[in-house]
Structure 1
């Protein structure tokens, strides 16, 4: 997949950071942070591009991937305030408390085009999935919400796994019955660390939903032409 991004190199004191954003917004994709259940709701384009962004994050250990999602088209279902999404490797040491200052420096960006390797991402995700069968290697996203932003801190394998889950949702979500009428369909979920003390588990549901007007939506395999209008009565 080819990703069109904008690259920023903001500085905080002596440190330079690398931050990338999608060059064009994911207009029909939204995210609400888990309290304790969040919702990632996207159309085919949005979920497909999210798959590419997670795949890019998997191999970019020194890059912060910032995905603005608050200013897209408001969804007609779900609850809670919409948030942006930030992907960062745990080893990067990004502090959410410093993010607002860093975000404020994202002014003069440079166009950047990158390509992701879906086959390599799938292999990496499969290796990660195999390792998860061992209890001592179990890993989930560390996460927090700050400044209307949901942060996911992960490892290369975890980002690659989530990329394949988003790609699955983008590819197979449109095949479900009912989506042509505007119904969303649950496809997967984000693997999140759970806080100590029990209670309801934290989770973010990944759901497919086409954007309106739904009469324009066609399920894969269906007719690409619109149904003809009935002839006018004589």
Structure 2
């Protein structure tokens, strides 16, 4: 855990102890794309759940310096991003992130125990309620300082962690059903009732990475 102070305000920032080297987040303009392996998918699912349980923390996933999966040529028109997950009640302005990031110290290790069903099993989701006009459990996004900010409620973080846990569970054993389904992936859709002011997010399992990654 890291702390940074700006004036009278102290910010608490949580980062994974081990870097997520086999994960990339790409801004493709119309949508966002995460490529990752089993370990990264499982750990990001845990960090997604942590964001639900830690409304006073910024959960920072540094990824923008990572290499893309091996065998893929450099892609024009995309830009790599870091990711920050935060609870909407924190009311953090993304414009302050560059200064906060620059003031983070070495931090100190901290073990977190997350409660709840493993792999999201047993979590009951009211899909119909998501489409009610009164639904406020929505993600909102901002991009600032080469970082995507995913802001939402504890409920929406808790209910959508399954996207990453599904990739970790099913990606490695995926058998393509045909050329139209060459890989295992999942998506945060605009039609699933979880996105407010936010672009769709595509999450794809990849098992080919450079040996150094």
Give the TM-score normalised by structure 1.
0.76
Q: Quick check: 1:147 aligned with 2:141?
A: no
Cα 1:204/1:24, change in 2 over 3 Å = same
User: How many positions carry a matched residue from both structures?
Assistant: 199
Aligned to 1:63: 57
Q: In the alignment, which residue of structure 1 is the partner of 2:40?
A: 46
- 1:141 CA displacement: 0.8
Bigger helix share:
1
Within the candidate set 181, 193, 197, 2:196 is matched to 193
For 2:136 and 2:74, how far apart are their aligned partners in 1? Answer: 30
Distance 1:120 1:137, change over 3 A: farther
Shift of 1:212: 3.6
| Conserved 8 A contact 1:143-1:192 | no
Question: In 1, are the aligned partners of 2:22 and 2:36 still within 8 Å (CA)?
Answer: yes
Instruction: Identify unmatched segments of 5+ residues in structure 2.
Output: 177-181
Tell me how far apart the structure 1 counterparts of residues 85 and 145 of structure 2 sit (CA, whole Å).
15
Pick which of 145-154 and 116-125 moved more. 116-125
1:68/1:149 Cα in 2 relative to 1: closer, same or farther (>3 Å)?
same
Aligned-partner Cα distance in 1 for 2:73–2:115 = 34
Deviation readout 1:82-132 (Å, 9 max, x if unpaired): 100000111101111000000001123111111222418848953464631
Segments of structure 1 that go 5 or more residues without pairing to the other structure are 1-6, 196-201, 215-234
Q: Please give the alpha-carbon distance, in whole angstroms, between the structure 2 residues aligned to 1:32 and 1:20.
A: 22
User: Could you say which structure has the greater relative contact order, defined with CA pairs below 8 angstroms and 6 or more residues apart?
Assistant: 2
Query: Is the contact made by 1:129 and 1:161 (CA closer than 8 Å) also made in structure 2?
Result: no
Distance 1:213 1:69 in 2: 15
Residue 96 and residue 34 in structure 1: after superposition, are their counterparts in 2 closer, same or farther (change >3 A)? farther
In 1, the alpha carbon distance for the partners of 2:43 and 2:185 equals 18
Moved more, 121-130 or 9-18: 121-130
Cα separation, partners in 2 of 1:138 and 1:18, compared to 1, 3 Å: closer
Q: Is the 8 A contact 1:140 1:192 kept in 2?
A: yes
Q: Which whole-Å CA distance do the structure 2 matches of 1:155 and 1:78 have between them? A: 35
Q: Which residue of 2 aligns with 1:136?
A: 134
Q: Which residue of 1 aligns with 2:157?
A: 159
Q: Distance in 2 between matches of 1:128 and 1:16?
A: 36
